[in-house]
Amino acid sequence: MIAGVLVAAPIYLVALLLLKAMKSLSNVVRPLAKLLPQWLPADNILSLLLVLSICFLIGLTVQTRTGRATWERVENSLLQKIPGYVLVKNFTLQLTGEAHGEAWKPALAEIEEALVPAFIIEELEDGRFTVFVPSVPTVFAGSVYILNPDRVHPTNIPITHAIKIVSQWGSGAKELVAAIRGESVRNSDERSLRHG
């Protein structure tokens, strides 16, 4: 269900915004629509074409150096002040495969006496990690911890796979454990060398 929501929600929001924009532009295209045959839903077709044209032009503009700089200014001065914007943006970029940063990196975190699926949100200057531990079966609710690096075990599995594990009540978690097994062996060898 959660996987379905992750796919359906963005599509639904895009469709909703598209319909809202088309409705707003219907007055603009109405004079031109009257020139077309009555049986054709000209208002809707012309509004859709106008919205798509505007989106295309914005996309072209953002591809230019000036457009990119303007967008970054708008993002830095306005959008980043909205709580959660940066986090959601990073999460979305990782889901689409456009970013490979440290934010939302799948990991296993040591909480009390257990390893729990988690996501590394950021690394602090002192080496500790801000870690988000999702509530099963949803990825978008949970707890935030600041943990020492020896209690956080990054994995090299894709973020989409980590989300699937959480949404399936932990089914497939053996892959998370296997992804850190090499690190655990290395750490135990280092400890035995230190004490031996």
Same domain? For 121 and 34 the reply is: no
pLDDT given at position 194: 44
Q: Which of 81, 114, 129 is the last residue of a domain?
A: 81
What residue type is assigned to position 45 of the chain? I
Please tell me the distance from the alpha carbon of residue 73 to that of residue 6, in angstroms, as a whole number: 29
Please tell me the distance from the alpha carbon of residue 53 to that of residue 65, in angstroms, as a whole number: 21
Both structure tokens of 54: 């505007």
pTM of the model: 0.51
Higher pLDDT pick, 133 / 98: 133
Same domain? For 130 and 166 the reply is: yes
CB proximity list for 121: less than 8 A, separation 6 or greater: 87, 103, 104, 129, 130, 131, 132, 144
pLDDT given at position 192: 41
Higher pLDDT pick, 7 / 26: 26
169 Ramachandran zone, left/alpha/beta (phi>0; psi -120 to 50) = left
**Can you give the CATH number for the domain in which 156 is found?**
2.30.30.140
Both structure tokens of 155: 């994995």
What residue type is assigned to position 159 of the chain? I
Please tell me the distance from the alpha carbon of residue 176 to that of residue 84, in angstroms, as a whole number: 27
Same domain? For 77 and 105 the reply is: no
Same domain? For 119 and 190 the reply is: yes
Answer yes or no: is 92 within a domain: no
Answer yes or no: is 68 within a domain: yes
Q: Which of 81, 116, 150 is the last residue of a domain?
A: 81
Answer yes or no: is 143 within a domain: yes
Same domain? For 48 and 114 the reply is: no
Same domain? For 104 and 188 the reply is: yes
- For the chain, what is the domain count? 2
Please tell me the distance from the alpha carbon of residue 168 to that of residue 174, in angstroms, as a whole number: 13
Determine the average pLDDT of the residues in 139-147. Answer: 86
Alpha helices by DSSP H, the chain: 2-33, 42-63, 65-77, 85-95, 159-167, 173-195
pLDDT given at position 92: 65
Same domain? For 118 and 187 the reply is: yes
Both structure tokens of 95: 């889901």
pLDDT tens column, 22-73: 888 888 888 887 877 878 887 888 888 888 888 888 888 888 998 888 888 8
The range of the structural domain enclosing residue 176 comes to: 98-195
Answer yes or no: is 188 within a domain: yes
Please tell me the distance from the alpha carbon of residue 157 to that of residue 177, in angstroms, as a whole number: 11
pLDDT given at position 158: 80
Same domain? For 77 and 108 the reply is: no
Answer yes or no: is 88 within a domain: no
Same domain? For 105 and 180 the reply is: yes
Quickly state the pLDDT bin for 93 (edges 50, 70, 90): low
Strand-pairing partners, residue 153, are 108
Same domain? For 183 and 138 the reply is: yes
Q: Which of 52, 81, 110 is the last residue of a domain?
A: 81
Same domain? For 64 and 105 the reply is: no
Same domain? For 12 and 75 the reply is: yes
CB proximity list for 100: less than 8 A, separation 6 or greater: 94
Answer yes or no: is 87 within a domain: no
Quickly state the pLDDT bin for 193 (edges 50, 70, 90): very low
